[in-house]
Chains A and B, each alone.
Chain A
Amino acid sequence: MEQFIFWAFAAMLVFSACMVITVRNPVHAVLFLVVAFVASSGLWLLLEAEFLAIALVLVYVGAVMVLFLFVVMMLDINIARLREGFIRYLPVGAAFAVATVVAMGLVVGSKNFGLERYAAPARKAAGYDNTAELGTLLYTRFLYPFEIAGLVLLVAIIAAIALAMRDTRQVKNPKPERQVEVRREERVRIVKMPAERRT
């Protein structure tokens, strides 16, 4: 049963990852990437890493990909122009692809991560709480790296806001507290004037 679930998710992951880079429509590509994330979160669940699995869905599927989809939906991408240099750059691209595959094979191949290097992880008891374990580690042993990562993200947020912010002099922001306080007398003036007479 577990084997079957693993192969199902693995096949889904490989298929959708291939579709992300081959499909023509960018919106479809983003949606296939979402499927890929869901499939890999399923694989993590099989490894009893429920915190990572759920966090992947929560952060990437629930937030990051929504923003991607937002941007991609509003772009008007011309596929024909994107394909212009395809043949010219093909040899360089292919060389890089082969080099990457070889390098990855050397690093994550069975020589380094095989069963003789790492024993198969033992199954944890039913009460095992992966989330609590991870939290304890993050806030004790890896406290400084964790806090530094948080600080880097904070700097990135502030930088993004600073880049996106326009000069305030050009923008007319509504002031809600003023809007609430407005009285009729400030906006409406009742003018008394004599009736028009036919000439």
Chain B
Amino acid sequence: MSVLGWLQQHVFFWMSPPWWTFTSILLQIVALVVPLMLGVAYLTFAERKIIGWMQVRRGPNRVTFFGIPWLRGWGQPIADAFKLMFKEIVVPAGANRFLFLLAPILSLGSALAAWAVIPLDATMVVTDINAGLLYILAMTSAGVYGVIIAGWASNSKYAFLGALRSAAQIVAYEIAMGFALVSVLIAAGSLNLRTIVLHQDGSMAHWFWLPLLPMFVVYFVSGVAETNRAPFDVAEGESEIVAGFHVEYSGMGFAVFFLAEYANMILIATLATVMFLGGWLSPLQGLAELGGGSTEALFATAYVGAFLGHGLHWLVFKMVFLLLLFLWFRATFPRYRYDQIMRLGWKVFIPITIVWLIVVAVLVMVGVPPWFHRA
């Protein structure tokens, strides 16, 4: 990363190489986590506002941002964060104190750890490892421990039942998600996320959402189920078991679960973008050729060229679009019944993914253009 190189030369030049390695990793983590946490804060705000508009309400509109009148409501997430920080953390009687406090950390930790291998740009990635896709699967599958441990350590029947529901649901949909990602790996011929994105280079029609359309749908719907979001939010099920596995948590313990849920949403949206929507690639690529121009000339246009060309901003746009879908689902769909959730996961999604896996393997073997044509 060029920014890191500059910092090493001009700011941290006095550091010996091992210390610089340590510091640079720390800096990269901070540079990733701080925007992510801000994103989570304003995602909750966007959720309340957008669902408000969809239901012809106003949403939060009281707390201003530094007293600026036209930013009414923008201070709400910050006020919420401070409120949660200063609330008392109540540990229930008979609860296992250590595990009770460990559970929220586990669930947030797995949501953040996966970001280490996600490429934000052609060069911007914390660690560019070969087995990136496997690493992501491993990290996201570890997130279920936070849920189970929280339910068990709370010493409460409601929390325990909520944890069982939620864990069964996560395990069920994880399989379909895993198969969807395996089809991406077959199509791209690599486990490295950067290579997967570069394999989608060409135009919007080259992105994997088109050849792998059923897998894209299965992946995204499973992602909604995996994060326990509406319409799959039986773990929360206000009308049945209050708040599911985190019913006994208050203050910061609850806040960390809340952060983990939204961080997971952002992670799923980003992963779907990287796997199926071409990551940082520009959707305008290849369009100029249709009109007789050239993409290179379009991206070299003065002033707007950098915006039209590939870059981090396209990744963010696509991610925000998918996040909007998450909110839209929540505002419009009624909650699934529990047996219907299980049926959809085991009896519909897993067979679809297995069949399409074979279809993709045949497509790749035959080398169907334009996606799988080998030069």
Contacts and interface: CB of A to CB of B under 8 A. Distances in A.
Interface in A124-148: 129-132
A57 B131 contact: no
A80 interface: no
Given A62-B141, A131-B191, A174-B339, A51 B134 contact: yes
Contact of A70 (B137, B142, B167, B174): B167
B134 A54 contact: yes
A174 B343 CA distance: 10
A132 B148 CA distance: 34
Interface string A36-79: 00000000000000110011011001110011011001000000
A178 to B, nearest CB: 13
B130 A66 contact: no
A66 B134 CA distance: 18
B343 A34 contact: no
Contacts of A55: 134
A63 B171 CA distance: 8
A180 to B, nearest CB: 11
A70 B131 contact: no
B328 interface: no
B152 interface: yes
Contacts of B164: 70
Nearest to B189: A132
B265 interface: no
Contacts of B145: 34, 66, 69
Contacts of A34: 145
Contacts of B131: 50-51, 54, 130-131
Interface string B327-356: 000000000000110010000000000000
B129 interface: yes
Given A27-B152, A69-B148, A174-B339, A54 B135 contact: yes
Contacts of B142: 57, 61-62
A54 B187 CA distance: 21
Contacts of A130: 130-131
Given A50-B129, A66-B167, A57 B148 contact: no
Contacts of B343: 176
B144 interface: yes
A188 interface: no
A50 B130 CA distance: 9
Closest 5 pairs (CB-CB, A-B): A62-B141, A58-B138, A57-B138, A54-B134, A129-B130
Interface of A: 1, 27, 31, 34, 50-51, 54-55, 57-58, 61-63, 66-67, 69-70, 73, 129-132, 174, 176
Interface of B: 18, 99, 129-131, 134-135, 137-138, 141-142, 144-145, 148-149, 152, 160, 164, 167, 171, 174, 191, 339-340, 343
7 contacts: A51-B131, A54-B134, A61-B138, A61-B141, A62-B138, A62-B142, A131-B191
